[in-house]
Structure 1
């Protein structure tokens, strides 16, 4: 499984838009790695290899190993630029991580117990307001995803960021900015069945 999070790259020799176009035509992706107290380095990755790795959702919120011509670094995938109309990755940003410094990463939300939710059983419909959340933590604490348990949520009720159960040492960035940033994650709205039951048929 470790290999799933290993990205092989080469140092990028050229610069500029013309060079980036040439690389893309050759089936390669221009990229950059930065942070960690070192200079940014321009890289090139193979498009097909990257696409295969990105099929695993965990890649987006996992510590990765970046192998640059035999030299390995621990990184996270910070940004991914896709072509607006074609299935092509245009550019990638990697950020170096230090085991002693907190990182900020968007982690996907996994909604569980939706079918058996109190509100859904009454005919309510779940609306997802968020699909991921930005967390701050040390690299070795980074969760692959955060569960959102819908089991006890009734019609008209919602789950907020402050309701999420987080692993130890993990904080939600929005909540660090104050209680007014406690956004709703999911809400159960009345569906047709629930409305007709309330209206007496």
Structure 2
């Protein structure tokens, strides 16, 4: 579980025009919300956000707020990043204030480990599920879910139900869903010489 700090400032400007003005000043508008608190409009610097989310956990990094009055010291996670479709710069960010005793839902990448036997035999790797939605406590968020494919042969798959997860981590997908498969035909024995 990765953890960083992020400096937020309270935001007085609201609405589309206020957000446009902030972006013109090189700032990102955002909001902090959560159970038991009133939603708070905030601003932050793009470099600050980039540095806070630069680790392997990316958007799943737990962030401790610096500044911003009553939110100072609160633990949050990024729940939504609105990006410009062309420039790819962040236009708005939503933070969810966490309670370490309440489970949350996050999106985690799947990481394949090893080289499958089936690929060495000429099969083709089919990897349709690159990430999974999981539910767990904030302190249990994995950086990725590793799937060992070393023993996978042609015509076989690894499904959600086959995953070995730490206790308390639940995948929010049907257990029959395929994570990775090896496609192709198994080599046939050469016909006996006549």
TM-score range, shorter chain: 0.7 to 0.9
Higher helix fraction (1 or 2): 1
**Residue deviations 1:141-198, cap 9 Å, x none?**
22221111111111222211111111111111224xxx5xx321122222xxx67x45
Segments ≥4 residues shifted beyond 6 Å: none
Partner of 1:85 in structure 2? 86
Partner of 2:155 in structure 1? 156
Taking the TM superposition and a 5 Å limit, the aligned residue runs for 1:30-109 are 30-69=29-68, 71-109=72-110
1:138 paired with 2:132, answer no
Taking the TM superposition and a 5 Å limit, the aligned residue runs for 1:117-128 are 117-128=116-127
Structure 2: tracts of 5 or more residues without a match: none
Number of aligned residue pairs: give it. 188
Take 1:37 and 1:59, find their aligned partners in 2: how far apart are those partners?
26
Structure-1-length-normalised TM-score: 0.84
Take 2:20 and 2:188, find their aligned partners in 1: how far apart are those partners?
60
Q: For the pair shown, which has the larger CA radius of gyration, 1 or 2?
A: 2
TM-superposed CA distance for 1:96, in Å, is 1.1
Structure-2-length-normalised TM-score: 0.87
Structure 1: tracts of 5 or more residues without a match: none
Partner of 1:16 in structure 2? 15
Give me the CA root mean square deviation: 2.2
Take 1:149 and 1:73, find their aligned partners in 2: how far apart are those partners?
37
